[in-house]
A and B are shown apart, each in its own frame.
Chain A
Amino acid sequence: MGPLVSQRYLSTYRPGWLLPIRDLTELVEHRDLLSLLITKELKIKYKGTTLGFMWSLLNPLLMMVVYTAIFSVIARFPLQQYPIYLLSGLLPWTAFAAAVTGATLSIILNGHLVRRVKFPNQFLPITSVAAGLVNLIPSLGILLVFVPAFGRSLGWPLLALPLLLLLQAVFTAGIALILSAVTVYFRDLEHLIGILVTVWFFATPIIYPLGTFSGHRVLGTLLLLNPMTWLISGYQAVWYYDRWPEAWQLLALAGTGVALWVVGALVFGRLQRRFAEEV
């Protein structure tokens, strides 16, 4: 049994900014780690529960029932088949929120690994993002059943789904990288993140239609500048309105996502150097 790898593993550790490009090759080399971490995350999430993975379907359904019950009594939005509208935004949002909160804690919760083994730590927040998406995809099956059941039509715009998922992944990963690294130094974020995500939820047209604040100049504009509005509107276009997502929203989302990823990689690379001491 000869050595697996030879001298091509030449690493130099120096102070300073780590080049994101070197991290990329590291990510490729460790690709089996990612699948293992995702399996682990999902296993742990449903460990000991009777219904297991079914919870990722049940949860949004129960939320849908609650919100529908509330909003058909308190505030009536001018929307036909409100549960469909709600679900089409709520499902991707749940994946996003779970990924962001999970990523925030990911480095700290895996401190024992970070302290003892050298591996690309980026995989920890990225695992949270991937696990969120792995949960999201089968739950979209609910819509596939519900939309026709509520008498609404589905069509070609469904083909935009893979693109929406990809954009969601990139955008979420950028945020996850930044939050996970910053939390190591600023632990208060761990407690703040819950309230931030809640605020963001209400600042995104998920339970109400986009036009709700069009009369209000500031709120209306803010709503349109929210990247999650672009993403969620895309899903709503596909599932609820049966039309193609707005091109400008997708482009803006792609731009924001890539920018966030680059910033995230830099911030993470910089802060990573002291993880082992801080966690």
Chain B
Amino acid sequence: MLVRRSLGEWQELWALRDVTFSVRAGETLGIIGENGSGKSTTLKLLAGILAPDRGSIEIAGRVSSLLELGAGFQGEYTGRENIYLYGVLLGLRRHQIEQRFDDIVAFSELGSMIEYPVKNYSSGMYMRLGFAVAVHLDPDILLIDEVLAVGDAHFQQKCFEYLEGLRAAGRTIVLVSHDLESVRRFCERAIWIDHGRVSADGPPEQTIQSYLDATARRPVRAPGEDYEVPGFGRLTGDVRITSVRLLGNQGETRSLSPQDRLTLEIGYTSDVSSGVGVQVNVFRNDGTHCTDANSYDEGVPLRLKRGSGSVRLTFPRLGLNTGTYDISIGIFDPAAHRFHDFHERRYPFTVRGGHAVVSIDHTWDLEVGAGKRAG
């Protein structure tokens, strides 16, 4: 229970309620959910940093947690001193840390930087050291919150390989992540926490699917409701987006591969007959604006008639690589410079395949020179 002051009054806020689950030794569990759903609170409770107001938590084994970037490093301390500090915080003896010291430094790829204060580190270096320390101190149970989102692809890959090793060695790993793809790839089981309760618990594929389905079904905003698209004022409500379907090569889907065709089928109901523009933006879950399409800017006339209908937008080849994405859709009146309706980042999907950011169509050509012939 969190008690927070709001407008001079105290109110009860349950960050988590009726949450019951158990994790077998050696299991890898993913926890997914929206921001503020209670994922991180769950992890802090498991880590023993927060104590529950009701109920109990039982843990067998040494817990190491990587809850925030850097696990509580002291800026003034060198990397070396921070390794020792974190180790003794976890309850290790000095000599036990000494045994692992070289492995930690090697894994972190920090080299001689290990002798410099961590305040001089880049965020990537900080993260590498944090991860290296947390996984090398031989936890029975490892709790990881998001941190893998940071760092370059090479190091991320290395982290996952190391975690695979820990898993093979029978360690228990609990991973909280926004990155549904990591959870799908790495975890044997996933739970979805929604508004402080467990909404789904099962194989990652299933849990992620129910999460995505529910996100897609979120209640549509009432037309003309007090919602403003920054720079465009309130919605007119004259045209409403009534349904959105994501169609891949084989019909409706939320899981795609970079080579797939993606068609958005946007159903609408219009109270007016007028020309509109439709705007679609695709974001990656870290906020990167990946691509957009705008019928008006592209000179495509879309004239709606009073009543219902649908607009289709097709990307013949998606081109986006592994990751979790979100789509925003807006229908606007180009003349009045206002939006009729706007669905902000309401249509998530995941892509599997490829490691770089995008797959760009390309061709190869080989030209063999005339060369010299002997003799």
Neighbour of B140 across the interface among A5, A26, A112, CB < 8 A: A5
Q: Which chain B residues border A26 with CB–CB below 8 Å? A: 91
In the bound complex, how far is the Cα of B57 from the Cα of A116, in angstroms? Answer: 18
**How far is the CB of B349 from the nearest CB of chain A, in Å?**
33
Interface 9-residue window, one of A7-15, A67-75, A178-186, A228-236 = A7-15
Q: Is B89 within 8 A of A4, CB to CB?
A: no
Say yes or no: is A152 at the interface (Cβ < 8 Å to chain B).
Answer: no
Asked if B71 and A116 make an inter-chain contact with CB atoms under 8 angstroms apart, the answer reads yes
Q: A11-B48, A13-B56 are in contact. Are A117 and B90 (CB under 8 A)?
A: yes
Contacts of A11 on B, CB cut-off 8 Å? 48, 58-59
Is A29 an interface residue when CB atoms closer than 8 A count as contact?
A: yes
Mask, A1-39, CB within 8 Å of B = 1, is 101111101111111000000000010011011001000
B57 touches A12 (CB 8 A): yes
Q: In the bound complex, do residue B138 and residue A3 qualify as a contact, i.e. CB atoms below 8 Å apart? A: yes
Contact with A along B64-86 (1 / 0, CB 8 A): 01011001101011000000111
Select B67's contact among A13, A15, A33, A116, beta carbons within 8 Å: A116
Cβ-based interface call for B355 (8 A): no
In the complex, the answer to whether A7 meets B92 with C-beta atoms within 8 Å is no
Given A11-B59, A15-B53, decide whether A4 and B92 contact each other with a Cβ distance below 8 A: yes
Residues A6 and B140 in contact, CB atoms below 8 Å apart: yes
- Could you tell me the distance in whole angstroms from the C-beta of A14 to the nearest C-beta in chain B? 4
A115 within 8 A of B: yes
Q: How many residue pairs between the two chains, A and B, have CB atoms under 8 Å in the bound complex?
A: 109
Q: Which residues of B contact A5 (CB under 8 A)?
A: 61-62, 140
Within 8 A of A (CB), among B41-64: 44-45, 47-63
Q: Is B17 interfacial (CB-CB < 8 Å)?
A: no
A277 pairs with B50, CB closer than 8 A: yes
Point out the residues of chain B lying under 8 angstroms from A10, CB to CB. 58-60
Q: Which applies to chain B's interface (DSSP): helix, strand, loop or mixed?
A: loop
Residues of B87-129 at the interface with A, using a CB-CB cut-off of 8 Å, are 88-94, 96, 99-100
Whether B357 sits at the interface, judged by CB under 8 Å, is no
Q: Which residues of B contact A36 (CB under 8 A)?
A: 84-85, 88
B68-A1 in contact (CB<8A): no
Bound Cα distance from A13 to B55, whole angstroms:
9
Question: Which size class do B's interface residues fall under?
Answer: 35 or more
Residues in B with CB closer than 8 Å to A46 are: none
B168 at the interface (CB under 8 A from A): no
* Residue A266, interface by CB 8 Å: no
Q: A197 — which chain B residues lie within 8 A by C-beta? A: none
The answer to whether B89 and A33 have CB atoms under 8 Å apart is: yes
Known: A7-B61, A119-B90. Is A12-B56 also a contact (CB below 8 A)?
yes
The residue that A116 contacts in the complex, of B68, B88, B96, with Cβ under 8 A, is B68
The number of residues on chain A lying at the interface, defined by a beta carbon within 8 Å of a beta carbon of chain B, is 34
Q: What is the CB-to-nearest-CB distance from A266 to chain B, in angstroms, rounded to a whole number?
A: 15
Contacts of B86 in A (CB 8 A): 117
Cβ contact of A13, chosen from B57, B60, B62, B137, cutoff 8 A: B57
Contacting residues, chain A, for B51 (C-beta < 8 A): 13-15, 273-274
Write the nearest CB–CB distance from B211 to chain A, whole angstroms. Answer: 27
User: Which A residues are in CB contact (< 8 Å) with B88?
Assistant: 30, 32-33, 36
Output the nearest chain B residue to A12 by Cβ-Cβ distance.
B58
B311 at the interface (CB under 8 A from A): no
Write out, one digit per residue, whether chain B residues 147-177 have a CB within 8 A of any chain A CB (1) or not (0). 0000000000000000000000000000000
Contacts of B68 in A (CB 8 A): 115-116
Contacting B92 at CB < 8 Å: which of A12, A32, A47, A277?
A32
Chain B CB within 8 A of A262 CB = no
* CB atoms of A112 and B56 under 8 A apart: no
List CB contacts (< 8 Å) of A186-242 with chain B.
Answer: none
Nearest chain A residue, comparing its CB with the CB of B86: A117
Looking at the assembled complex, report how far the CB atom of B107 sits from the nearest CB atom of chain A, in whole angstroms: 13
Task: Point out the residues of chain B lying under 8 angstroms from A115, CB to CB.
Answer: 49, 67-68, 72
Tell me if A113 counts as interface (CB < 8 A to partner B): yes
Contacts of A273 in B (CB 8 A): 50-51
Residues facing A in B285-312 (CB within 8 A) are none
Is there a chain B Cβ closer than 8 Å to A276's Cβ? yes
- A44 interface residue (CB < 8 Å to B): yes
Q: Is the CB of B140 within 8 A of A15?
A: no
Cβ-neighbour of A32 out of B63, B71, B94, B99 (below 8 A): B94
Interface assignment of B222: CB less than 8 Å from any CB of chain A: no
Cβ contact within 8 Å between B48 and A13: yes
Closest residue on chain A to residue B145 by CB atoms: A116
Chain B hits for A30, CB < 8 A = 88-89, 91
CB pair B89 A117 closer than 8 Å: yes
CB-based contact A117/B65 at 8 Å: yes
Flag whether B272 is at the interface (Cβ < 8 A): no
Residues 89 to 132 of chain A near chain B (Cβ within 8 Å) = 112-119
The answer to whether B52 touches A116, judged by C-beta atoms less than 8 angstroms apart, is no
- Quote the shortest CB–CB distance from B293 to chain A (angstroms): 43
Is the pair B62, A4 in contact by a Cβ cutoff of 8 Å? yes
**Residue in chain B with minimal CB distance to A119:** B89
Q: A30 CA to B92 CA in the complex, in Å? A: 7
Q: Could you list 17 further interchain pairs (A-B, Cβ under 8 angstroms) beyond the known A15-B52, A113-B89, A276-B49?
A: A4-B96, A5-B61, A6-B140, A13-B56, A13-B59, A14-B51, A15-B55, A32-B88, A32-B94, A36-B85, A44-B76, A115-B68, A116-B65, A117-B86, A119-B91, A274-B50, A274-B51
* CB-based closest 4 A-B pairs: A273-B51, A118-B48, A116-B72, A33-B88
Residues of A within 8 A of B (CB): 1, 3-7, 9-15, 26, 29-30, 32-33, 36, 40, 44, 47, 112-119, 273-274, 276-277
Can you pick out 15 interface pairs between chain A and chain B where the beta carbons lie within 8 Å of each other? A1-B99, A1-B138, A4-B137, A5-B62, A15-B53, A33-B88, A36-B85, A36-B88, A40-B85, A44-B76, A112-B72, A118-B47, A118-B63, A119-B89, A119-B91
Residues of B within 8 A of A (CB): 2, 44-45, 47-63, 65, 67-68, 71-72, 74, 76-77, 84-86, 88-94, 96, 99-100, 137-138, 140
